[in-house]
Chain A
Amino acid sequence: MAAIVLAALALGFLTLDLGGGSLRSAHSGVRGALGSLYRGTDAVLGPTRHFIQGIPSAGTSHSRISVLRHENAVLRGKIAATDADRAAHAQVARLQLAATSGGYRIVPARVIALGPGGGFDWTVTLDVGTGSGIRVDQTVTDGAGLVGRVLHADASSCVVLLGADPGSGVGVRDLRTGQVGVATGRGSAGFTFVPLDPKAVIRVGDRLVTGPTGSTSFAAGLSVGTVTAVRTSADGTTTATVRAAVSPTSLDLVGVILVGGQPLPPRPALAPAAQANR
């Protein structure tokens, strides 16, 4: 009996959520609470996670050389930063370059959690929120490539729907031909690109970027990926397989592109170099 009641309750929640926005505030409240808890937990568990993630590459000669070089540098007193700090520094430099070249204002953010659904969600939680100027639908980048868009934001964290999400579609342009189309996420397998013009000539190696402005909800000009295979169906429709420019499973430091006159955030945003020098 209890099983039937609970199952009916679960189906009731499912129906309510599918039927409209009845549970939107409940989703928002739980996401906000979990986001705040993730933030605190990541401060404690983050170093452990980084250590474990580094174990698979510890045996390779490349990483061994890096470790030895690092130790040598530490002994000489020339380098004080850890590998993680250096990677973060390099990533911030990439974000700064993106801000400068694209004319964007970018808020750097760190990935603090993946979706809590046990692998069902292609979402990540970032450690910045509305207090830093983050708003829903803003574009997230790793400096050059498209990461995703902000799905939900609360005061101190936000949830990002990755471009690789199988339900996501990204408006893109082929840099070689200028053809526009839609790239649909395929998880860790990249994207599937379908040009709007079915007769468009797409080649292996073509690079796809977001855009054009106005036809997509993402900031224009971000790299989406590279075409690795092209298929033409019997009716002449062209479909391309695309290797993603950004690996959705190895995200760490990313940047949220601020758009549309947002209030100045407490966390300093990376402004284009020309503005920063003024």
Chain B
Amino acid sequence: MSAQRGSAALAAMITALLLQGTLIGPLATAVPLSLPAVLVAAAALVEGPTTGMAFGFSLGLVADLGSSHPAGILALAWLSLGLVCGLAGDRRTVLGDVVIAAVCCALATLFAGLLLAVVHAGGATAWVAARGALPAGLGDAVLALAVIPLVRGFLRTETLRARRGLVPGIDLGTPRG
């Protein structure tokens, strides 16, 4: 991964967490919308499962460490989100990617909620997790409509476009999009 791509990923992570905490979260208190999750889905849809997993794990771990629940919950959920979106993305239409991102984000929300219920964090229960998944998916679909074209545009610029592996042995994924 080039220095530019690494810096861009770090900037995207911080920006997503700050916007989630100061804008998205306070404005959408009734529905657990998650801009970071949508960003992970969007990156995975463009770049494939390897980048999606790494990005989802990193972003999830930072969000976990900044939260009151045990670390590893969101890292695991968003790692899975990156993997599934990377494998499932059709990469042809924005609308198709939005639907995939919304469904995967809803499943990731459900998965994270169930993990929280299993470790008894924050009084979470399986029912609360199941109840929040559908609204989260619908809300995340709206976010994805804005985020996916933006991420596609950024990742297709000359600076950030993924290069084919110079050393075949460490080429973990095929760049897409």
Contacts and interface: CB of A to CB of B under 8 A. Distances in A.
Interface of A: 2-3, 6-7, 9-18, 23, 26-27, 29-31, 33-34, 37-38, 41-42, 45-46, 48-49, 52-53, 111-123, 125, 151, 159, 161, 165-168, 184-185, 187-188, 249-250
Residue of A34, A53, A184, A250 contacting most chain B CB atoms (<10 Å): A34
A14 B76 contact: yes
B113 A120 contact: yes
Given A34-B17, A117-B67, A10 B27 contact: no
Interface string B22-53: 11011111111111110000000000011001
18 contacts: A10-B79, A11-B76, A12-B72, A13-B61, A18-B70, A30-B66, A46-B22, A49-B26, A114-B26, A116-B20, A116-B21, A117-B66, A117-B69, A118-B37, A118-B63, A118-B74, A120-B67, A120-B124
B14 A37 contact: yes
Contacts of A118: 20, 25, 32-37, 63, 74, 109, 112
A52 to B, nearest CB: 6
B63 A117 contact: yes
Given A13-B64, A38-B21, A166-B124, A119 B31 contact: yes
Interface stretch (B93-101, B114-122, B159-167): B114-122
Contacts of A11: 72, 76
Interface residues of B, number: 61
Interface of B is mostly: helix
Given A2-B53, A38-B18, A49 B23 contact: yes
Contacts of B102: none
Residue of B60, B125, B136, B172 contacting most chain A CB atoms (<10 Å): B60
A141 to B, nearest CB: 20
Contacts of A184: 123
A121 B112 CA distance: 12
B132 interface: yes
B18 A37 contact: yes
A45 B67 contact: no
Given A3-B53, A188-B30, A116 B71 contact: no
A69 to B, nearest CB: 27
Interface of B: 14, 17-23, 25-37, 49-50, 53-54, 57, 60-76, 79-80, 83, 109, 112-113, 116, 119-125, 128, 132, 136, 172
Nearest to B65: A30
A31 B57 CA distance: 18
The 8 A-B pairs at the shortest CB distance, nearest first, are namely A166-B123, A119-B32, A14-B72, A118-B34, A113-B21, A114-B25, A13-B72, A167-B123
Contacts of A185: 123
A199 B21 CA distance: 44
Contact of B25 (A48, A52, A119, A187): A119
Given A6-B57, A53-B27, A120-B124, A112 B75 contact: no
Contact of A9 (B22, B32, B57): B57
Contacts of A34: 17-18, 21, 66
A8 to B, nearest CB: 10
B105 to A, nearest CB: 9
Contacts of B49: 3
Given A45-B22, A116-B66, 4 more contacts: A10-B57, A37-B14, A116-B67, A119-B25
A187 to B, nearest CB: 8
